[in-house]
Structure 1
Amino acid sequence: MQGPTDDVVAAWVRLVRAQRAVMGAVEADLKRAGEPPLSWYDVLWSLVQAPDGRLAPRDLEGALLLEQYNLSRLLDRLEADGLVARVPHPGDRRRQFVEITERGRALRERMWPVYAEAVQRHVGARLGDGEARCLAAILGGLLGGRF
């Protein structure tokens, strides 16, 4: 098998650097606004989108692309802050769901304007609509329709 071309390597390097730069900038904006990290928003958003505001931890893990140990610790923190609750799975006492609380919904809604402004500042303001659409299509190709 032949190695990647120079263009492929350049695309890879820029993809990784862009991801780190944009994520770091968005995280910094959230922190400056006194909001929790983006991972908290992502968990809360996933739960808001789920039927009845709840998901099994393994489904949440797949949606967030977090390692299991990271998700468990994150859920512990969110639960300690009253943002999510672990509830028993009907019919199987060994399983549980993670459910968003009203306090979690309120935090997600409070975080959204800061997050949206950060995405606009660090992505939207740098790309035209056509470029954003093209980039989304290219990244979709890399994801192979998985997400």
Structure 2
Amino acid sequence: MWPCAFVAKTNPMNLKNYKPILNLVVLVGIVYLTHKLILFLLKIEESTFVYSMETLYLLFLAMSTLVFIIVLKVKERSFDNVGMSFLLATSVKMIFCYLILKPILRINSHDNSLEKVNFFAIFVIFLTIETVLTIRILSKN
């Protein structure tokens, strides 16, 4: 018997259960490239931003992945609590997002308004992706 076949048979974690995380990564990649293309076409210089686009996307991706890990673990134990765990994890994520946003809010300049819009756009995009993927998890059962 091949070692990988043995691991696949004895591994209790089914990789199919973690498909939403793979979907999240693929969607975020597509959205990131689209976002960069839009900034390029509009000739928006992001070098003046407090946080680079890559930093924001990586932070949001890490937080969203954590939300999905929590949701999927709760789903394995108690499907009835998936929605509540999603709401709680998202609320905690919003607190961290506010802490990340604080340095941007402290800068009072006209040039900073574009960065604020950019941050909130990324926040809404990730929230939408998380919500849609969570709805898909809930609708499967």
Per the shorter chain, which TM-score range? 0.3 to 0.5
- Bigger relative contact order, structure 1 or 2 (CA pairs below 8 A, ≥6 apart): 2
TM-score w.r.t. the length of structure 1 is 0.33
Larger proportion of helix: 2
TM-score w.r.t. the length of structure 2 is 0.34
